[in-house]
């Protein structure tokens, strides 16, 4: 692949130090490692020219390689701490492929390996949207069912139970937060189905450019594995999909 022109490069970040679920990125889900679902989507994408796995963990690297993924390096441990940010591993991955493979990608796409139900059409749709809109960056959004910050409160004093609204609407003085959902402005969650950005901003030490756009996906494809309960629910969904033949991975 070293002679391949890479316009869009996907980075699959998979550090080894997960806390909620030990060895989360390679935990079994539906009979295969969790990271396998993301590797498969990256491989099926029509717009991603190359995809690499960035991990600090030798076992994750071997599992990813056995699944056919490109794991060109082990990420330095100082870039894989709990408080490490996306820009840390993105800058490292970009600098590595530029130096060792001569790639000069224009766009970097982050594909978190903890989202087994993402669809390839959403990944390609978001990337195509970014190219057509000629914007700096794009991230996927989803409507979080009935949850809205217009019906959320800060617990100002836990002992006294005093509260204040997270957001006030034009109806607040009369209705507080007792407002029909249909009257509220739609709010969107930011699931990491795909995050894409121009490589030039990563070289500058920034994940996003100033012109950041949103691309809406189905909330059902945005289930993120973080805690054991998330994994249990994902197992239930996969079992249901196998019975019904519904494949949300596209």
For residue range 207-218, what is the model confidence (pLDDT) as tens digits?
999 999 999 999
Res. 249: pLDDT tops 60: no
Same domain for 206 and 98: yes
Are 52 and 80 in a shared domain? yes
pLDDT for the residue numbered 208 = 97
pLDDT of residue 2: 46
pLDDT at residue 248, rounded to an integer = 52
Residue with token string 């130090």: 17
Query: Does 19 score more than 70 pLDDT?
Result: yes
The reply to whether 114 and 32 lie within a common domain is yes
Same domain, 84 and 47: yes
Higher pLDDT, 181 or 85: 85
Residue 1 within a domain: no
Residue 249 lies in a domain: no
- Report yes or no: 155 and 146 within 8 Å, Cβ to Cβ: no
Residue 1 has pLDDT above 60, yes or no: no
Give residue-wise pLDDT tens across range 90-104: 999 999 999 999 999
Domain membership of residue 250 (yes or no) is no
**pLDDT level of residue 247 (50, 70, 90 thresholds):** low
| Stated length of the chain | 250
The answer to whether residue 174 sits within a structural domain is yes
Q: Regarding beta strands 50-54 and 8-13, do their DSSP bridges make them parallel or antiparallel, or are they unpaired?
A: parallel
Residues 15 and 33 grouped into a single domain: yes
Which residue would you say has higher pLDDT here, 198 or 19? Answer: 198
How much of the chain is in helix, strand and coil states, percent to nearest 5? 35, 20, 45
Residues 45 and 129 in one domain: yes
Q: What's the rounded mean pLDDT across residues 77-82? A: 85
Report the range of poorest mean pLDDT among 87-96, 106-115, 178-187: 178-187
Mean pLDDT over each residue of the chain, to the nearest integer:
91
| CA neighbours closer than 13 Å in the CB half-sphere of residue 233 | 13
Assigned domain for 170 exists: yes
DSSP string, 19-83: SSSTTGGG-EETTEEHHHHHHHHHHH-SS--EEEEEBS-HHHHHHHHHTT-B---BPPGGGSSTT
Q: 167 and 240: one domain?
A: no
What's the structural domain count of the chain?
A: 2
Checking if the pLDDT of 24 tops 60, the result is: yes
> Do residue 88 and residue 163 come from a single domain?
no
Range 120-139 average pLDDT:
97
Report yes or no on 2 lying in a domain.
no
Same structural domain for residues 15 and 87? yes
pLDDT over threshold 80, residue 245: no
Of 76 and 137, more confident: 137
CATH number at residue 12: 3.90.550.10
pTM: 0.88
- What is the Cβ-side half-sphere exposure of residue 41, based on CA atoms within 13 angstroms? 31
Domain assignment present for 211: yes
Q: Mean pLDDT, to the nearest integer, of 42-60?
A: 96
45 and 98 inside one domain:
yes
Residue 190 predicted with pLDDT over 60: yes
Q: Where in the sequence is the domain holding 112, given as residue range(s)?
A: 8-142+188-244
User: Do residues 53 and 94 touch, judged by C-beta distance below 8 A?
Assistant: no
**Residues 62 and 96 occupy one common structural domain:** yes
Decide if pLDDT at 21 tops 70: yes
Q: Which residue has the higher pLDDT, 2 or 90?
A: 90
Specify whether 18 is located in the same domain as 130.
Answer: yes
């Amino acid at each position: 692949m070293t002679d391949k022109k890479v316009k869009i490069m996907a980075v699959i970040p998979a550090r080894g130090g997960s806390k909620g679920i030990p060895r989360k990125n390679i935990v079994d889900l539906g009979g295969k490692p969790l990271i396998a679902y993301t590797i498969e989507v990256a491989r099926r994408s029509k717009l991603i020219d190359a995809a690499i796995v960035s991990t600090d963990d030798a076992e994750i690297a071997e599992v990813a390689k056995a699944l056919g993924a490109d794991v060109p390096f082990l990420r330095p441990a100082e870039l894989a701490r709990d408080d490490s940010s996306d820009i840390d591993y993105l800058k490292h991955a970009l600098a590595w492929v530029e130096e060792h493979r001569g790639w000069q990608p224009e766009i970097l796409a982050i594909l978190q390996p903890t989202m087994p139900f993402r669809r390839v059409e959403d990944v390609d749709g978001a990337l195509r949207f970014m190219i057509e809109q000629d914007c700096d960056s794009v991230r996927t959004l989803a409507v979080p069912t009935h949850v809205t910050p217009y019906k959320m409160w800060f617990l100002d004093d836990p002992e006294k139970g005093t509260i204040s609204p997270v957001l006030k609407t034009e109806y607040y003085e009369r209705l507080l937060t007792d407002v029909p959902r249909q009257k509220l402005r739609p709010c969107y969650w930011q699931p990491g189905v795909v995050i894409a950005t121009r490589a030039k901003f990563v070289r500058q030490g920034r994940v996003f450019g100033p012109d950041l756009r949103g691309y809406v996906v189905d909330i059902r494809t945005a289930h993120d594995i973080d805690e054991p309960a998330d994994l249990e629910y994902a197992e239930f969904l996969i079992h249901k999909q196998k019975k019904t033949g519904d494949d949300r991975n596209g």
